[in-house]
Amino acid sequence: MEVSDIEVRPRKINQYMRSRTKAWREYSKKPRIYVSPEGETVLEHLFDRHNRPTKEFRAAALSACEKIGLIDVKLRWSQYAGCTCPCSPGFVIEEHVGTPSKDLYKFDVFVEVK
């Protein structure tokens, strides 16, 4: 699989609506890499989220890490990477050296593959 697009998104500190407290737990999580096929619709994503080619996606995720400046990356596949339900599977970056930019420490990476 070939990487066609990489987007690095900085994390924001969200606020819980009911309690009006800051969501530091989500902000402080380890970075995530979400890999998806190019042109995949939301409906296709929902149907295919349990049958991902994780070996091919891992190679694409490692390639994307090199392109954004992360080295010595250790990835772990998680079906629950995005939230507590299995709707957003991805890779958790367990360890890495470097950051995508000088001021960016809390981030997530979104990768599209062909």
Burial class of 104 by CB neighbour count within 10 A (0 to 12, 13 to 18, 19+):
middle
Q: What is the C-alpha to C-alpha distance for residues 61 and 54, in angstroms, rounded to an integer? A: 10
- In the chain, how many domains are there? 1
Q: What is the per-residue pLDDT for 103?
A: 61
pLDDT at residue 112 greater than cutoff 90: yes
Residue with token string 């409906």: 43
Mean pLDDT of 13-24: 81
pLDDT confidence band for 24 (50 / 70 / 90): confident
In this predicted model, what pLDDT tens digit does every residue of 45-103 receive, in sequence order?
888 888 889 999 999 999 999 999 888 899 999 999 988 888 889 999 998 877 776 66
Residue span of the structural domain in which 35 resides: 3-113
Q: What is the C-alpha to C-alpha distance for residues 5 and 111, in angstroms, rounded to an integer? A: 6
